[in-house]
Amino acid sequence: MALDLITKIFFTAFFISLLYELLHSILYKTCLNAPLKKYVYLILKAAIFDGFAISAMYYLTYLIFNNQDIFSNYYQLILFFSISLMFAYAWEIYSIKAGKWEYSDRMPLILGVGITPVIQLFLTGLLSIYIVFYIY
């Protein structure tokens, strides 16, 4: 697999996640109460983390299935979906308990964590991979 493919996925995921994080930040007390400099830092850090996470999850499914286009393999797509949901859920549990962020009253919850952050990695990851394979 070419490094440029993973790089394209990372940067596409970064920019999509950056937009998502900006729009989504109203659901976090941490962001609502942060001064501008800290807010920018938090949003950029989250988008970079998301870019790396999406790239790593994509690469893992590539290694398992030896297939670059996850849209051409239903099982690979299911694995990407499963990994992203489990990782996001575990990361939310850890981050809430560690005090990394706090939800506002507007955040819809499921099983003790925010619904939107749990589905975010899958949705932004899927969109990023789609853009790299079919639009780039």
Summarised one tens digit per residue, pLDDT across range 20-71 is: 999 999 999 999 999 999 999 999 999 999 999 999 999 999 999 999 999 9
Least Cα distance to 87 among 120, 59, 43 occurs for: 120
Q: Which tokens is 70 given?
A: 């996850």
| pTM of structure | 0.94
Confidence band, pLDDT 50/70/90 cuts, at residue 96: very high
Q: Which amino acid is at 79?
A: L
pLDDT tops 70 at residue 1: no
Is pLDDT of 132 > 90?
Answer: yes
